[in-house]
Each structure stands twice: as structure tokens, then as C-alpha cells.
């Protein structure tokens, strides 16, 4: 396996929930079994509660409607990240703000025709699946197994139904982010990574500020 792919598997897993979420694995990730059990038992309960709810319109962002199911799936993934890193879960308002940022970023990518086809996302999912299988990191592999089990689905369902839409969205946003980075590097070749991230955050906030956002609940 290439070094870059090892880093990808060890440091980042993009988990498909219909909305993209990124799980960070680092030396700070808690490996305590009790913590892990709490993380996934909480996820399983939240997922069951979400599945029992009737799907309704939740937000309209620039004339595109997102359902409560979209938001609940996003909330689940954010809560898993927080709990797995030993942190308190975010408030609904904080999660809603993150949800809106991702939504407007994807919409901007679509507007700029930074497309990612389903086939491209599937190829990426296949590469990630292979990378996880080949990773010399039992903790990463176990995390994914526990995550899938908490959702009450099979591994095939995860890779074929959950992961692909999430990768498709994440890759589109990634293209937008890279385009912005490239433009900044043309203006300033010595710009630092932290400065680039500041530019990205400001661009996302600008998109949010300019967006027409309507609560439907």
C-alpha cells in the first residue's frame, strides 16, 4: 500500500450517512473499551430514535429542501466524533450551523460545476474499502465494524448505500476547497496551511451569510 493511502486510513475515515462526516483518528483518540461501548450504544439509540420519526421538511437553503432525516443523520455522525474524542456532544444549534455550512459548500461546488459522478464516488469508496481492509490498524477496522453494527446494517449496505452519497458530497466540497487554495497560492506562493484554512473558513461563512435559509419546523 502506498504511504499516502496508509495516512488516509489511519487519520481519516469519511463515513456515509447520506451527509458526509469525517472521523479523525489520532493519538488523542480514546481506546478505552468502556468509552467505545458508550459511543456506539449512544449512536445505536440515536439512530433508532431517528428511524422512528416521520420524515418532514426541516430546512430550506437556497430553495433546496433538507429533511429532518438529513439533519438527524448528520447529528448522529457529529455526536460520534465528539464522544469518540472524549468531548461533550454539540448543541443542536451548533450542529445545525455545521449542517448549513456543508450544504452551502456543496451547493457552491454544484454552481461552479465541480461535479463528482456516482461512479467516481463508487471508485473512491472501493479504494477506501480496500485501504481499510489492508490497514495495519486493528483499531480503525474495529471502529468501522462497530459503527456499521450500531446503524443496524450490513457492511455491503454501508459501502453501497451509505458511503457513496457521502463520498460524492465530500469530494465535491473537496474540489471547491482545493480550487480556493490554488487561487490563493497563485496570489501568495508562501501562504501557510493555517492561512489557507482561514481563507476557507471565511469563504464558507460568506456563503452562509449570503444564503437564503428558512426553517421549516
Domain CATH for 40: 1.10.4030
* pLDDT of residue 27 exceeding 50: no
The model's confidence at residue 33, banded by pLDDT at 50, 70 and 90, is low
The model's confidence at residue 202, banded by pLDDT at 50, 70 and 90, is very high
Q: What is the pLDDT of residues 112-152, one digit of tens each?
A: 999 999 999 999 889 888 888 887 777 778 878 888 888 88
Tell me what the mean pLDDT of segment 25-30 comes to.
Answer: 38
Q: What is the pLDDT of residues 181-197, one digit of tens each?
A: 999 999 999 999 999 99
Tell me what the mean pLDDT of segment 13-20 comes to.
Answer: 38
CB 186 within 8 A of CB 199: no
Q: Where are the beta strands (DSSP E) in the chain?
A: 12-16, 20-24, 57-61, 64-67, 213-215
Domain of 130 in residue numbering reads as 3-215
Domain count, the chain: 1
Q: Can you tell me which residue has the cell 490554488?
A: 182
Question: Residue 56: how many CA atoms within 13 Å on its side-chain side?
Answer: 8
Tell me what the mean pLDDT of segment 65-69 comes to.
Answer: 95
* pLDDT of residue 5 exceeding 70: no
Q: What is the pLDDT of residues 76-93, one digit of tens each?
A: 888 887 887 778 888 999
* pLDDT of residue 26 exceeding 50: no
Amino acid at each position: 500500500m502506498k504511504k499516502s493511502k496508509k495516512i488516509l486510513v489511519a487519520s481519516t475515515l469519511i463515513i456515509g450517512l447520506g451527509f458526509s462526516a469525517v472521523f479523525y483518528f489520532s493519538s488523542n483518540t480514546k481506546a478505552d473499551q468502556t468509552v467505545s461501548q458508550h459511543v456506539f450504544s449512544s449512536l445505536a439509540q440515536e439512530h433508532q430514535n431517528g428511524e422512528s420519526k416521520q420524515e418532514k421538511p426541516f430546512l430550506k437553503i437556497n430553495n433546496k429542501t433538507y429533511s429532518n432525516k438529513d439533519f438527524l443523520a448528520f447529528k448522529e455522525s457529529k455526536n460520534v466524533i465528539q464522544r469518540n474524542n472524549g468531548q461533550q456532544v454539540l448543541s443542536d444549534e451548533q450542529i445545525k450551523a455545521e449542517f448549513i455550512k456543508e450544504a452551502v459548500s456543496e451547493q457552491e461546488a454544484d454552481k461552479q460545476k465541480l461535479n463528482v459522478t456516482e461512479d467516481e464516488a463508487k471508485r473512491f469508496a472501493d479504494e477506501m474499502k480496500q485501504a481499510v481492509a489492508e490497514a495495519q490498524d486493528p483499531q480503525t477496522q474495529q471502529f468501522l465494524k462497530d459503527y456499521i453494527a450500531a446503524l443496524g446494517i450490513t457492511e455491503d449496505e454501508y459501502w453501497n448505500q451509505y458511503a457513496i452519497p457521502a463520498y460524492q458530497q465530500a469530494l465535491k466540497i473537496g474540489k471547491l476547497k482545493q480550487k480556493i487554495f490554488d487561487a490563493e497560492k497563485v496570489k501568495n506562493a508562501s501562504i501557510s496551511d493555517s492561512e489557507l484554512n482561514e481563507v476557507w473558513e471565511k469563504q464558507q461563512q460568506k456563503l452562509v451569510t449570503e444564503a437564503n435559509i428558512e426553517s421549516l419546523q
